[in-house]
Structure 1
Amino acid sequence: MNAAPALAGVKQAGGSTLPRHVAIIMDGNGRWAKKRFLPRAAGHRKGIEAVRAVTRASRDLGLEVLSLYAFSSENWRRPAEEVSDLMGLLKHFIRSDLDELAEANVRLRVIGDHGAFSPDVVEMIDGAIARTAGNTGQTLCVALNYGAQNEMVRAAKKAAAQGEVDEASVAANLDTAGLPMVDLLIRTSGEQRLSNFMLWQAAYAELLFTETLWPDFGADGLRDAIQAYAMRERRFGGL
């Protein structure tokens, strides 16, 4: 059942609207597989199904921006076989879902240094970005080879080269420049840390940690998280 009508018009306790920007740390693929005595690769494949379900649900709910932490700069420390499998899944997702994203008027945006990937992966990512660049609907922001501390250092250096360094100049040079700040940041699998993800953008985000492993999160998990968000009162440092 589509839950969008049930959420339409829901206001937070403080009177603000539903989140414009939801960011998700997708965690728990490996544990999902381990619980089922399956290889980690099976968990990652199931995780892609969850990505597909959540991105579709986010469009149904009318989210302006959905950001997904897909591959961190620290993930290179994983076994080479696992990294290769993740790259293969990324290519598969682009091949299988790009048409749907383009037809749904979704604009793909990638943050981080995806240029560090192999040339064939870079070519596919750049092609997907170019194909959806003119779309005016939802922005799907995917973090690839991303680390927030590195992003802030790069932004500060660019700001310094341009002149004065202040909050506005740093923000204008972040990978997410032009996007709204994160309203709701979700992490699955029970872990309660940000893991170097959108540290600047999530400065006043509502944080939601769920025990649900990412492959089991899906559309219902997203709707439940947004319902929980709508019950909160955001203060932004005020009383």
Structure 2
Amino acid sequence: MNPLNHVAIIMDGNGRWGLKYRNSRNEGHKEGLKTVEIIIKSSIKNKIKFLTLYAFSTENWKRPKKEINYLFKLLENFLSRKLDDIHKQNIRIKVLGYKKFSKKLNFLLNFAEKKTIKNSKLQINLALNYGSKSELINAFKKIKRNKIKINEKNLEKNLQTNNIPDPDILIRTGNTKRLSNFLLWQLAYSEIFFEKKLWPAFTEKDYIKIIKEYKNVKRNFGRI
């Protein structure tokens, strides 16, 4: 049975769910946040140590400004309301990506990282303004600047995921089968599960089903 240490999730389908059931993409994002809370609780129950959530990609800036503003306001409110509870649960928050947001959101993200830095039950990596291609380019720039040898070990040290194990599982909801510039290096040997359900409809039962399936997968890592 495979050990499970790190789950990465592309939370796709919020907007489509919102349009279908509430006639509003924003309502889908709001409902999707409830699913996030369910998955966090389930991850703790299942003793998963790392949960990486693709919340906002570098390409998502192409969306309508009103929707982007709503997403960031939703995150601001979530952190303001829930950070103390997150801290009490011994959960660590880490941001992957580049903090180019409002002063308030940047402050809240930095504060959340500092406040929870010593927590150890679960580490939630929030991929915000994150793009794997940019991450890799910046890693190579650091290697060149520091005049060190180009190899896997040095590259991994200069990625934003340094000291974070590679995901065992990638889950993508929303019936879309692509990686969308997410953890391209880190997902090389991850087991990938594409889920038809839109993110707000994804349940703990669905999550547990994937975990059970993963634990019985034969993982060869290039061996026979």
TM-score of the two chains, using structure 1 as the length reference: 0.91
The separation in 2 between residues aligned to 1:27 and 1:106, in whole angstroms, is 24
**Aligned counterpart in structure 1 of residue 55 of structure 2, from 59, 64, 70:** 70
- Alignment gaps of 5+ in structure 2: none
Structure 1: 5+ residue stretches without partners: 1-10
Tell me the equivalent position of 2:219.
234
- Of residues 159, 162, 165, the one that matches 2:143 is 159
Q: Deviations over 1:158-212 (max 9, x none)?
A: 1222211111001001101001111100000110000000111111000000101
Q: After the TM superposition, which residues 136-175 of structure 1 pair with which residues of structure 2 at under 5 Å, given as runs? A: 136-162=120-146, 163-175=148-160
CA distance in 1, matches of 2:212, 2:142: 39
Q: 1:188 aligns with which of 141, 157, 173?
A: 173
In structure 2, the CA distance between the partners of 1:37 and 1:49, relative to structure 1 (3 Å rule), is closer
Q: CA–CA distance in 2 between the matches of 1:159 and 1:52?
A: 38
Q: 1:3 matched to which residue of 2?
A: none
The count of residues paired between Structure 1 and Structure 2 equals 223
**Post-superposition offset of 1:138:** 1.2
The answer to whether the 8 Å contact 1:51/1:218 transfers is: no
Which one-letter code corresponds to 1:208 in the other structure?
Answer: F
* 2: CA distance, partners of 1:192 / 1:49: 24
Match of 1:26 in 2: 11
Contact 2:140/2:155 (<8 A) preserved: yes
Moved more, 134-143 or 65-74: 134-143
Which residue does the alignment assign to 1:99?
84
Q: Structure 2 length normalisation: TM-score?
A: 0.97
Instruction: Letter of the 2:24 partner, please give it.
Output: P
**CA RMSD after TM alignment:** 1.0
Native 8 Å contact 2:22 2:28 kept in 1: no
Tell me if structure 2 keeps the 8 A contact 1:112–1:175: yes
Percent of aligned positions with the same letter in both sequences?
A: 39
Distance in 1, Cα, partners of 2:15 & 2:201: 12
Report the equivalent of 2:206.
221
